[in-house]
Amino acid sequence: MLSGILSKESCAGCRFCCSFRRASLWEVPVFTKENTEAIRKNPKLDETVLIPLSENADYARYDLSSHYQTDDSEEEAKCPYLSETGCVLSKEEKPWDCSIWPLRVMRKEDGELVIALTPTCPAINKLEFETVRQYVNENLREELLDYALKHPLLVKEYRVDFPIIDP
């Protein structure tokens, strides 16, 4: 989604956003019904890793909690859809969380939705924050907030270390 300012080359060899420490499991992407149906139709993909959300069975996610081999808090468990060459999912199969990364739509305590930036993405951190802010406001803000309003279960709770991209 940020392809206008973030090139594929800048992600080469990183894959940071496709594996998760225990403390980051809240970031595991949520799949919509459309994503899950597209995955189910693709014989090359295993849809059995997806577990319906208790809040609404139209949405699903995978559970990595048993994938850790050690007690090391830095150990990362990788997404089941990550291959040696990157994500195996098509646009229709890929969750919104991944499509908009490193952006996040988050909900503050008072219910306000904000667009924020994941602070740990090395590529985005090389850009001026103002460049990202301008790009998001000119190209993405309306679309992101509209989609988030239609899919509230995709919205993450706000965390203070995520810089907010003001309008």
Binding site for ligand SF4 (CB under 6 A): 10-11, 14-18, 29, 79, 81-82, 87, 89, 94-95, 98, 101-102, 121-123
**Residue 82, SS3 per DSSP:** strand
CB of 92 to ligand SF4, least distance (A): 12
Q: Number of helices and strands (H, E) in the chain?
A: 5, 9
**Residue 26, SS3 per DSSP:** helix
CB of 160 to ligand SF4, least distance (A): 20
Output 36 or 102, the one with its CB closest to ligand SF4: 102
Output 41 or 108, the one with its CB closest to ligand SF4: 41
DSSP state of 158: P
In whole angstroms, what is the distance from residue 24 CA to residue 20 CA? 6
* Alpha-carbon dihedral sign for residues 62, 98, 87, 34: positive
CB of 129 to ligand SF4, least distance (A): 15
CB of 111 to ligand SF4, least distance (A): 27
Output 94 or 133, the one with its CB closest to ligand SF4: 94
Q: Tell me which amino acid residue 124 is.
A: I
Compute the C-alpha angle 25/31/33, nearest 5°: 155
- The Cβ of residue 104 has, within 10 Å, a number of other Cβ atoms equal to 23
CB of 109 to ligand SF4, least distance (A): 27
Output 61 or 133, the one with its CB closest to ligand SF4: 61
Output 87 or 145, the one with its CB closest to ligand SF4: 87
